[in-house]
Amino acid sequence: MRQQTFAARWFAYVVTLYNHVVGNRSPDANPAARGAVLSVEKLSKSYGQIVAVDGISFEVDHNEIVGLLGPNGAGKTTTINMILGVLEPTTGTITIEGVNLAAQRSRALACTNFAAVYAPLPGNLTVYQNLRIFGMIYGVKNLQQRIEDLLKQFDLERFRDTKCGVLSSGEQTRASLAKAMLNDPQLLLLDEPTASLDPATAREIRMRIRDCTIQGTGGVLWTSHNMYEVAEVCDRVLFLSRGKILLEGDPKTLPREHGKETLEELFITIAREPLTLEVG
């Protein structure tokens, strides 16, 4: 284990002391009533005349993995960006663990985290440095131990002092996932988390996130274009097309309910002919 410098240790000590004295009001200190982890109501986003997301409503419950599916441009990433607080909705509300995101952004995001292929960790910092910095931002308690656990859990121990920029895409994804699990989030947003992983690692990661969700108390919103993965890991799926939710249901039974053999067939139908399945 690389020795920390005296300055870094002193710095961490001062920060810990301050937080101990002032008090770190994390959401855990005042847990919300056990409703849905995520509640999205009549959410929409427009750019001028273009409607990217059109009044969608859905929930993610505790211990539930919800798949957000849809063709490119359907509004999945726009939805995730709004839930992450980096994009303001045109209308609608987002509630995370009973906390309104628009009204109490910091409190809502303290129990949220995400990993996305398009948001890698800064490549000029090592895996350890990235985890330490984001751990401080998320106010993680016993951060050092948490980092050690995550390095082990995501098989990153040998890359601890390696800059993220020189890792392979699969290793970078694992580092991003470790960062996403830092604060043991109640709401985990995963945008194509296994896109650059080999099948064996992808399966392992899926199982790990699945186990975390079952054993923990949080919920996961998961986007993927891999329908096999979605069927394996998700409890429920939402099909999004042209900014609207067209279908919702169990990924194992939904294809048959709509006369299709597989989830992939259903996906292709929605991508090509959304009007044939449009409801409401």
Partner 1 sequence: MLLSRTAAIPLRHFYLMRGSFARVLPLFIWVAIDIVLWGFITKYLNNVTATGFNFVPSLLGAVLFWDFCSRVMHGVTTAFLEDVWSRNFLNIFATPLSIYEYVAGLVISSIVTSTLGLVVMVVLATTVFGLSFFTYGVMLAPFLLVLFLFGIACGIFGSAIVLRLGPASEWFIWPIPAMLSPFAGVFYPLSTLPRWMQWIGHALPPSYVFEGMRAIVAGRPASPVMLLFGAVLALIYILLACWFFTYVYRYAVRTGLIARYSAETVS
Binding site for partner 1 (CB under 8 A): 5, 7-8, 11, 14-16, 18-19, 22, 24, 47, 77-78, 81, 84-88, 105-107, 109-110, 112, 114, 116, 118-126, 129, 132-134, 136-139, 179
User: What 3-state class would DSSP assign to 43?
Assistant: strand
Q: Of the two residues 19 and 276, which places its CB atom closer to partner 1 in the complex? A: 19
User: What 3-state class would DSSP assign to 215?
Assistant: helix
Q: How far is the CB of 211 from partner 1 (least distance, A)?
A: 25
Q: How far is the CB of 274 from partner 1 (least distance, A)?
A: 24
Q: How far is the CB of 137 from partner 1 (least distance, A)?
A: 5
Q: How far is the CB of 28 from partner 1 (least distance, A)?
A: 13
Spatial separation of the C-alpha atoms in residues 218 and 26, rounded to whole Å: 16
CA 110: distance to chain centroid?
13
DSSP state of 248: E
DSSP state of 274: G
Q: How far is the CB of 80 from partner 1 (least distance, A)?
A: 9
DSSP state of 262: S
Distances (CA, A) of 222 to 77, 94, 99, 103: 11, 17, 21, 25
Q: Of the two residues 78 and 194, which places its CB atom closer to partner 1 in the complex? A: 78
Q: Of the two residues 95 and 270, which places its CB atom closer to partner 1 in the complex? A: 95
Q: Of the two residues 8 and 207, which places its CB atom closer to partner 1 in the complex? A: 8
- The four Cα atoms 132, 190, 84, 15 give a dihedral, to 10 degrees, of -10
Q: Of the two residues 173 and 247, which places its CB atom closer to partner 1 in the complex? A: 173
- The four Cα atoms 98, 33, 214, 183 give a dihedral, to 10 degrees, of 60
Q: Of the two residues 89 and 219, which places its CB atom closer to partner 1 in the complex? A: 89
Q: How far is the CB of 167 from partner 1 (least distance, A)?
A: 14
